[in-house]
A and B are shown apart, each in its own frame.
Chain A
Amino acid sequence: MSAVAGTPQRQPGRVRVRALAGYAFGLVLGAVVWQVVGYSTPQQVFVPLTTTLQRLGQLISSGELGSALWTSFQSYLVGLALALVVGAFAGILLARRRLLRVAFEPYVIALYATPMVGIIPFLLALLGFAFWPKVVVIFLFAFFPVLLNTQRGAQSIPPELLDVARVYRTKELGIWRHVIIPYTLPFLMTGVRQSLARGLVGMIASDFFLSADGLGSLLITSSERFDTAAMLAITLVITAIGLALIGIGRFLESRFARWRTA
């Protein structure tokens, strides 16, 4: 910002070019740093970007990555779906039934604050190594944001809208269909967005401790074999997945919040 009075505003075009240049420079810089660090450290510690990408290619073509992804995502999707259904239902239930809400709220809050990671060893001891324990873990990670956001939404329905429904003699089912669900849906989507990310954490965590053949397990075995290139490659993949999930989450959230504009 120029301190000289009377200087005209920077043209928007120039600002955009500078912004794009900044992003591009950032990417290039990152790549360069990666390369340099990779070449100047032992192979066990870090590898150059080029080597990483090569290794990634190998993992893809050998099918290792694909099958690991498939295994992990199966439990992810099931756990997430369960979390959405149960969480949405429970959220609306708590919102509509005051007594239940008052009774259970402190426990919900306490569980939300508990690092679910901590529970994993107990689940491992209880359920062992299998598909369903992983689903349970992912469910626990993904459940609470859905519950809390849905509850918040269902609880904040403007009383006037409920009055409207009642004055026009809407039946209970109609109130759900015309008022509760449409109003709560955007809140649910916010919960979904948070759940997607948390569920991913649960997926990796359950891969580490409860599984032998998921994405996280691939990471562990690579570390045991000192295959740092593979580790970096898998980390890249997970980052990409994480970013994609954030994008999906934000899309869902804004798509369903359209009527809340202005």
Chain B
Amino acid sequence: MTATTQTEPKIRVDHLVKQYGGRVVLNDVSFDVRPGEIVSIVGPSGCGKTTLLRCVVGLMRPTEGTVYISGKPVSEPPEGVAMVFQHFGLFPWKTVSANIAYGLTAQGISRKEAAPRVSELVRLVGLEGFEKSYPYQLSGGMQQRAGLARALAVSPGVLVMDEPFAALDAQTRDVLQLELLRIWQGLDAAMLFVTHSIDEAVLMGDRVVILRGSPSTIFDIVDVGIPGPRTRAVVDSDRFRSARDYVWSAVMQDELAALAKPAASQTASLSPEAPTQH
């Protein structure tokens, strides 16, 4: 194994193919994520974004192709990888602290040993005062903060986000997006961010992977090209808008094509080429 250098990608997806139920869901997907980089993955609903993510973290094995994390092939969830889940994934019977500590306690570290790290993270995500609360007592946004804290507790080299803000209301989502970007400044990891929101993908990502088709393939990888820390103001910049428009038309192309078909034929309500992803 060669030692990883600064230019060595943290995550490498190499010609990944995933098939199940007799259907090819992902076909020949390849991309890299470099250390310190955020890569967004976006695509129409049901295009296999989550499947791709699960293959990357080792929850699923690809039919063909390999995922490498820090140069090593992935077959089981490897060390140094943490994930934030769409529906938060907090254990309802554990307190917020116990949940945040979980990544550590699952490895045999005692609650006492983990306590300082937990308090540090509680402060970082802004959950002071709720250490002993239970998930059902928290709002969605707060639960996801806890989910994020749990992921950060293991000091991951790779952070994987599975539509983390999709289950939240719009305002909470906006707040947490910026919170995440702020927290990100102090980290040295690679982040893979899956979302179905195009705006979010362009806001969060240094690069955006566009998945499309049936089976899904990479249509393009867009370099958003906005240097420096992202803030709310970024949304108004020309660079952002042009990137977003490009991604938007790329993702929506098939849907738009279906809508644009002439209304002459009454029965053709669905274009036969429209991607029918379950």
Contact = CB atoms under 8 A, between A and B. Distances in A.
Nearest to A169: B77
Contact of A163 (B59, B76, B106): B59
Contacts of B85: 160, 163-164
Contacts of B94: 182
Given A160-B85, A163-B59, A163-B85, A168 B92 contact: no
A259 B77 contact: no
Nearest to B89: A164
Nearest to A170: B106
Contacts of A165: 106
A163 B89 contact: yes
B34 interface: no
Given A167-B77, A167-B81, A178-B102, A160 B87 contact: yes
Given A166-B77, A167-B83, A182 B93 contact: yes
Contacts of B240: none
Contacts of A171: 106
Contact of A182 (B91, B103, B105, B135): B91
A69 interface: no
A166 B75 CA distance: 12
B47 to A, nearest CB: 20
Contacts of B92: 259-260
Contacts of A168: 77, 82, 102-103, 106-107, 154
A92 B274 CA distance: 44
Interface of A is mostly: helix
B161 interface: no
A114 B81 CA distance: 51
Contacts, number: 58
Contacts of A183: 93
A170 B104 CA distance: 10
A241 interface: no
B121 to A, nearest CB: 15
Interface in A169-202: 169-171, 174, 178-179, 182-183
Contact of A167 (B59, B91, B134): B59
Contacts of B76: 169
A171 B77 CA distance: 12
B79 A259 contact: no
A38 B102 CA distance: 66
A169 B79 contact: yes
Contacts of B103: 168
B246 interface: no
B134 A259 contact: yes
B136 interface: yes
Contacts of B192: none
A257 B137 CA distance: 15
Given A167-B59, A168-B154, A161 B107 contact: no
Contacts of A169: 76-77, 79, 106-107
A262 B82 CA distance: 28
Contacts of B77: 166-169
B106 A179 contact: no
A178 B79 CA distance: 19
Nearest to B104: A168
B209 interface: no
Contacts of B79: 169
Nearest to A181: B93
Given A167-B59, A171-B106, A262-B136, 12 more contacts: A164-B89, A164-B102, A166-B59, A166-B77, A168-B82, A169-B79, A174-B106, A179-B91, A182-B93, A259-B135, A260-B136, A261-B136
Kindly list the 4 A-B residue pairs having the minimum CB-CB distance in the complex, ordered from nearest: A164-B89, A170-B106, A259-B93, A182-B93
Interface of B: 57-59, 76-77, 79, 81-83, 85, 87, 89, 91-94, 102-103, 105-107, 134-137, 154
10 contacts: A161-B89, A161-B91, A163-B59, A164-B102, A167-B57, A167-B59, A168-B106, A168-B154, A178-B106, A259-B92
